[in-house]
Amino acid sequence: MITFNGATLPEWISVTGVSFETTKLSILEHEAGRRVGTIDAGVKRGGITITLDLFIEPALDMTLLEQSDVLKRFIRGDNWEVSELILLEQPDRFYNARVSEGGEITDHFTHGENSISFYCADPKKYSTNESVAMGMEGQANIDYNGLEDTPTVIEMTIPSNTSEISVEHVESNRKISLTGEFKTGQELTIDSKNRNILLNGNRAKNLMKFESNWINLSGETNTLVVSDTNDAIQDFTVTYRTAD
């Protein structure tokens, strides 16, 4: 079963094949003075394409235009925005995808073969289940088993008035720092997934210091340390999805 934005393909469409790119890399290089050739500057990862090969059968209780409408509702996803795509082979994983080429329905049903292509700007696939880790005494130790790094959503209740709050990923030395007038009892969310800061549910990205970096989990061992001006923040939660 193929699921896109929670909807499944209609029963009169059969998936006969799936093709996808595992990764797409562009080699980066730059010239160096007084030497022959160029220097390998690493790689840049790009998005991937997933293509479904289809066989479309005539539906006896539907007109051609009605079938077209049903297929259009499926491929539009979340109003043509990026939506979750789940493939039959891994029902516990999803891609963030949008349709790049939609199937065509014609009255030539002798063969009825077509295809739908999805483009994933983010080439990773994510677990359908969220994981939640608890931070205590200002620190969370997370054992992570994903093949790819994954963004975090860190939530906390501010225990006392403070002017600075920071979260550091010890292993990577990445840190996000916030400056402002934080009040006792306010709810703070540092959303690295959507690259946003919320204070009591309101956008507050302006509180970020310029040198801040979003916090991702990577590798097996991840230590997150939360601190504030008064060293009062003790408890927080870290929500994430395993990425492969």
Contact 186, 232 (CB under 8 A): no
Kindly report, residue by residue over 152-187, the tens digit of the pLDDT.
Answer: 999 999 999 999 999 999 999 999 999 999 999 999
Q: So what's the pLDDT on residue 44?
A: 67
Kindly report, residue by residue over 72-97, the tens digit of the pLDDT.
Answer: 889 889 998 999 999 988 999 999 99
Distance between CA atoms of residues 38 and 32, nearest Å:
6
Distance between CA atoms of residues 4 and 234, nearest Å:
40
Contact 241, 150 (CB under 8 A): yes
Q: So what's the pLDDT on residue 110?
A: 40
Q: What is the band of 112 on the pLDDT scale with cuts at 50, 70, 90?
A: confident
- Mean of the pLDDT values across residues 26-54? 75
Task: Tell me how many degrees the CA angle 90-93-97 measures, rounded to the nearest 5.
Answer: 110
Which residues face 224 on adjacent strands? Answer: 140, 169
- Mean of the pLDDT values across residues 180-202? 96
Reading the block at residue 163, the tokens are: 């002017």
What integer best gives the mean pLDDT of the chain? 89
Q: What is the 3-state secondary structure (H, E, C) of the chain?
A: CCEECCEECCCCEEEEEEEECCCEEEEEEEECCCCCCEEEEEEEEECEEEEEEEEECCCCCCCHHHHHHHHHHHHCCECCECEEEECCCCCCEEEEEEEEECCCCCCCCCCCEEEEEEEECCCCEEECCCEEEEEECCEEEEECCCCECEEEEEEEECCCCEEEEEEEECCCCEEEEEEEEECCCCEEEEECCCCEEEECCEECHHHECCCCCCCEECCCEEEEEEEECCCCCCCEEEEECCEC
